[in-house]
Amino acid sequence: MRLTEYINPKCISVDMDVKGKDEAIEFLVGLLLQGGSITAAQKEEVIKTLKKREELGSTGVGYGVGIPHGKCSSIEEIVLAIAVSKKGVDFASLDGKPVHIFFLLLGPEGSPTEHLKALARIARFSKDRNFREKILKAKTPEEVLEIIKERESKELA
Amino acid sequence: MGIEAGMLEKEIRVGNPLGLHARPAAKFVKLSQKLNSDVYLEKDGERVNGKSILEIMMLAAEQGDLVKLVVDGEDEEKAIEILGSFLAGENET
C-alpha cells in the first residue's frame, strides 16, 4: 500500500482559510470534488458521513493534525485530500490545540485492512515532527506530494 | 511505586470488528489516561505509548490480531483489567 498512489495533487491545498470544523470538512470535501475524486452527487453523502464521525469524537489527534475519515458505500477506492492552514482551525482536538494539517481519508465500505493501514501510515508520518514542519512550509501542492513521497520511500526502504 | 510492583503483561486478540482505528484508539486513550500506570501496546515487536492516539493508530491492529498490553505502575492490576477487556471487547464503537 502506498499513500501516494491515492493522492491527487488537485486534492491538496496549502492555503486553507476556514473557521471551525464544519467549514474545514466542507473545504476538504470540496478538494475531493475539484480533483475529481468524488462526484457532485456523492458530495452530500460524504459530508454527512464525515460530520457524523466527528460527532463521535474529534479526529483532531494532537500535534496540530486532523485526520477526518470515514467510509461510504458509493466510494470505490481510498481517496485522500490534504489541506494546510497556516493560522490553524479550531477542530475540538483532543489536546485542545488548533489543527494546521488535515488529512482527509475516505474509503469504501468493507476492506478494513487497507483503511487501517492508510490511517496507520498517516499517523506514523504525523508523529514525525520533521515531516510536519516540512508540510507546514510547503508552498505548492506538488511540494506537499513530494514531501509525502520522500517520507514514504524512507518508510518502505 | 512502579518499581516494586514490577509490570504486568497480557496478550490479547483485538475484538473490535473494525480494528483499532481512530475511534476505539481514542476510547482506549481516554481509559488509559485516567490510570496512573504507564501503558504500552505492542504488535509485531513494535511498542507504542498507550496514552497516545496517534501511536496506537500506527499499529494498524485489526480484529483477531494479537497485541501485547504492558502496564506498569501502582494501579497496574486495575489497568490490565480495564484495558484488557476493552481491547478484547467486540463493541464496534
Give backbone dihedrals phi and psi of A108, rounded to 5 degrees, phi first: -75, 160
State the residue range of the domain holding A123.
3-156
> Beta strand A79-89 with A12-13: parallel, antiparallel or unpaired?
parallel
ipTM score of complex: 0.78
**pLDDT for the residue B87:** 96
Task: Write out the H or E segment, with its range, that includes residue A48.
Answer: helix A40-55
Task: Write out the H or E segment, with its range, that includes residue B72.
Answer: strand B66-72
Whether residue A115 lies in the annotated active site: no
**pLDDT for the residue A143:** 98
- Contact residues, A window 99-128, toward B, CB-based 8 Å cutoff: 112-113, 115-117, 119-120, 122-124, 126-127
Distances (CA, A) of A131 to A118, A122, A138: 17, 11, 11
State the residue range of the domain holding B81.
2-88
Residue B93 lies in a domain: no
Tell me the pLDDT band of A69, cut-offs 50, 70 and 90: very high
Specify the number of domains making up chain A.
Answer: 1
Q: Which of A21, A69, A115, A132 is catalytic?
A: A69
Beta carbons of B62 and A94 less than 8 Å apart? no
Q: Which of B52, B58, B62 lies at the smallest CB-CB distance from A112? A: B62
**pLDDT for the residue A110:** 81
For chain A, the average pLDDT equals: 94
State the Cα–Cα distance between residues B14 and A150, nearest whole angstrom.
32
Among residues B6, B10, B26, the alpha carbon closest in space to that of A69 is found at B26
Residue A92, min C-alpha distance to chain B (Å)? 13
**pLDDT for the residue B5:** 53
Residue B9 lies in a domain: yes
Instruction: Map grid coordinates 475531493 to a residue.
Output: A32
CATH number at residue B76: 3.30.1340.10
Rounded to a whole number of angstroms, the distance between the first and last alpha carbons of chain A is 13
Helix/strand/coil for A66: strand
Question: pLDDT tens, B26-85?
Answer: 899 999 999 999 999 999 999 999 999 899 999 999 999 999 999 999 999 999 999 999
Q: Which of A53, A57, A119 lies at the smallest CB-CB distance from B57? A: A119
Question: pLDDT tens, A75-122?
Answer: 999 999 999 999 999 999 988 999 999 999 999 988 788 889 999 999
Specify the number of domains making up chain B.
Answer: 1
Beta carbons of B22 and A65 less than 8 Å apart? no
CATH number at residue A71: 3.40.930.10
